[in-house]
Amino acid sequence: MSRADERLPEVTEAPLPAEEARGRLVRSASVITLLTLASRLTGYARDKTIAAFFGASAASDVFYTAFRIPNLLRQLVAEGALPGVFIPSYAERRKNGSVEDARLFAARILSALTLLVSAITVLGILFAPAIVRLLAKGFASTPGKIPLTIYLTRLMFPYLCFISVAALLQAILNAHGRFAISAMSPILLNLAIIFGAVVLAPRFREPTVALAVGVLVGGILQMAVQVPAARSLSAIGSWNVRFSDPDVRAVFFLLVPRLFGFGIYAITIALSTRFASVFGDGAVSYLTFGNRVIELVRGGFVISVSTAILPLLARQALEDDRAPFKDTLRFGLRLVAFVTIPWAVGLAVLRETVIAALFQGGRFGPAATAATAQALSYYAIGLFFISSSTLLVFAHYARKDTRTPVFCAAADLAVFISVSIALRPWGVASVAFATSCGAIANFALLLGFLRHREGRLGLKELAATLARVLAASAAMALIAGRGAAWLLATYPPRSTGERLLFLAAATLVGMLVYLGAAILLRASEPREFVRLLVARRGPRP
């Protein structure tokens, strides 16, 4: 056996026992969560920097709209379709084929992906004017806003090439149980954008161009930092374009339905931006900053669980015994419910305090805080459903079913459009509330279809968890929420430091009340999580 083969052992071990599989999931998710939390904190620092220097203004609207276009494609590649279809196929080759087969498969997918996203980048640059006018028709009322958005869109589109390669490298590393490097790589993007805002912006006639430069540099760094880890595994070969390879065609065939699903998602985002753009300057930024807070939770924990769970589900989906697959999915949903529901309640109760502590200052004033807080409260309604849908989509992908999520996404879009139009007098809040309503519909359909195809999923256990979590969250809102309201009225914080200190104290008290109530209600999740976290580690898969 060659030295490379020793680095990349074939996966022929027996399926993991449920207890050990849960333990690995918890430990992997914990590592990813810690690193992702660091990434989200630097992401907050990035948004705080942009808010301080640009406020919720026409300039910030332009940057966020221009970045949203290549970032939409990044979400397709990095957080959805590519890992979802690549990891199950790669796991199957590691199990049933040779080491060289797996390496060749990865090299050919990487080569084909590079050519594909390069072509998309060229088309995006050419058609940027049409894309921007479709996304942000309301910008035309402000002179110069549309041309600047087009310029920044063209400047940032190559980011898609770098982040797509980084996403495939991440999928390969995750399939080998290596999560740390990929989880920390977004920190580099955030630091690059902060550098652009603080150091480069004063040197540009149009300061937002410096932010775009930071995005490009960050994308390059995210790709480059993962290359040594992938090479150390000898997991990818040299450039190898072979579109005639049936394995490559199979992966891209599975990708096609997801592309339709992405098209639906892109329409949702485009309509969200378009609906918001007619509500005046700052409206897009209100939604962006409100959604950023939701992403601190969803990205800090839920994406971590999803990233850790997909390789495990992909291996379990290959087995005849469906019990481990269902057990892993149900356990993941219970963890998501236990974490996201109290956070959603807390964010809704302390919405203005949260936004003021995180963003108020500089050109981001009290009016922007109030508008963003309103959007946050409506986004919070859908936090559990959006988060759980991520796991359910990955469960469908693990079964090599990429069509069902497309249908569910279409239903999400239909609900979003209907609610947005019906509640347009609400202003910006209508877009946030419509997003949550669409997420609820998406979750219900994804779960229903999975139960129809897999049989009983043990949803009574999940329902019991939801009941205890809701009761504990209500206790938290009643006790910690009233205490926070009294403290705010008696000793109102006057500076950013005081607001952050108050928010940290309120969060700590709320967590203690919630955990205490959950334990009194005999919730098993806290004890189970700690037990699995400290359990003896088995060998890396």
Q: Which pLDDT score, from 0 to 100, does residue 417 have? A: 93
Its pTM stands at 0.67
Q: How many structural domains comprise the chain?
A: 1
Q: Tell whether the model's pLDDT for residue 536 goes beyond 50.
A: no
DSSP secondary structure string, 422-462? HTGGGTHHHHHHHHHHHHHHHHHHHHHHHHHHH----HHHH
Average pLDDT over residues 470-474: 92
12 lies in some domain: no
Average pLDDT over residues 402-414: 88
Q: Are 459 and 440 in contact (CB under 8 A)?
A: no
Tens of pLDDT, residue by residue over 288-317, are: 888 888 877 776 666 666 666 767 777 777
Domain that holds residue 123: 58-254
168 lies in some domain: yes
14 lies in some domain: no
Tens of pLDDT, residue by residue over 308-350, are: 676 777 777 777 777 778 888 888 888 888 888 999 999 998 8
Q: Which pLDDT score, from 0 to 100, does residue 237 have? A: 65
Q: Which pLDDT score, from 0 to 100, does residue 262 have? A: 63
In whole angstroms, what is the distance from residue 342 CA to residue 358 CA?
Answer: 19
- Run of H or E residues at 504: helix 496-520
Q: Tell whether the model's pLDDT for residue 210 goes beyond 90.
A: yes
Q: Are 327 and 312 in contact (CB under 8 A)?
A: no
Query: Is residue 401 classed exposed, middle or buried when 0-12, 13-18 and 19+ CB atoms within 10 A define those classes?
Result: middle
170 lies in some domain: yes
Sign of CA dihedral 253, 254, 255, 257: positive
Average pLDDT over residues 49-69: 80
Q: Tell whether the model's pLDDT for residue 541 goes beyond 70.
A: no
267 lies in some domain: no
pLDDT band of residue 56 (cuts 50, 70, 90) is low
- The owner of tokens 């979400």 is 75
In eight-state DSSP terms, residue 80 is T
68 lies in some domain: yes
- Which of 299-303, 424-428, 451-455 is most confident? 424-428
Q: For the beta carbon of residue 169, count every other beta carbon within 10 angstroms.
A: 26
108 lies in some domain: yes
Tens of pLDDT, residue by residue over 249-278, are: 777 777 776 667 666 766 777 788 778 877
Average pLDDT over residues 459-484: 87
Q: Which tokens go with 416?
A: 């979003």
pLDDT band of residue 10 (cuts 50, 70, 90) is very low
173 lies in some domain: yes
